[in-house]
């Protein structure tokens, strides 16, 4: 192999490595620390939370006489390492008691956004999706990486 051929092979290999590295970074899972909801979405969620959830979980999700807190260390530890999709699905399939599954997906996403805000995760530029499968790719991490 000539010097020129080796140089071409080296540049092709480096280019492929760069593309592969960029693809891996692009596929890195997002977390709740990446601003996965908007302030406006969380505001809508707060109104819905007051209407649908606060009676049992208390104002701002701090806990009530009938249900546990949806904020704080114990709550975050419960979901740590799971996905936001897991939280969304649990809300969708089990809440509120007697009306399970009746909250529309966009409203459930807004309530989930409010819960993230109440747990001090940062807001971002894009609304939290209302499709469970899309939310499965967002990791709930209690501690900032």
Residue 30, strand partner residues: 138
Q: What does pTM read for this prediction? A: 0.81
Residue 69: other Cβ atoms inside 10 A: 16
Cα separation, 38 vs 89, whole angstroms: 20
> pLDDT per residue over 15-65, tens digit each?
555 554 444 445 678 999 999 999 999 999 999 999 999 999 999 999 998
Residue 28: what pLDDT?
74
Per residue in 113-144, pLDDT (tens digit) is 999 999 999 999 999 999 999 999 999 999 99
CA–CA distance, 90 with 5 (Å, rounded to integer): 58
CA-to-CA distance for 4 and 23, rounded, in angstroms?
29
- What is the per-residue pLDDT across 60-88, written as a single tens digit (0 to 9) for each? 999 998 999 999 999 999 999 999 999 99
Q: pLDDT tens across 22-33, in order? A: 444 456 789 999
CATH superfamily of 29-139: Cytochrome c-like domain (1.10.760.10)
Delimit the domains of the chain by residue range.
29-139
Phi/psi at 138 (nearest 5 deg)? -105, 115
């Amino acid at each position: 192999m000539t010097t020129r051929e080796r140089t071409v092979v080296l540049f092709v290999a480096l280019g492929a490595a760069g593309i592969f590295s960029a693809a891996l970074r692009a596929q890195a899972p997002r977390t709740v620390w990446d601003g996965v909801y908007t302030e406006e979405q969380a505001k809508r969620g707060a109104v819905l939370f007051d209407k649908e959830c606060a009676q049992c979980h208390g104002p701002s999700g701090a806990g009530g006489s009938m249900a546990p807190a949806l904020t704080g260390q114990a709550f975050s530890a419960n979901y740590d390492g799971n996905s936001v999709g897991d939280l969304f699905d649990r809300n969708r399939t089990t809440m509120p008691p007697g009306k399970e599954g009746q909250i529309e997906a966009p409203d459930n996403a807004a309530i989930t956004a409010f819960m993230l805000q109440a747990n001090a995760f940062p807001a971002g530029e894009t609304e939290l999706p209302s499709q469970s499968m899309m939310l499965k790719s967002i990791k709930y991490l209690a501690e900032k990486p």
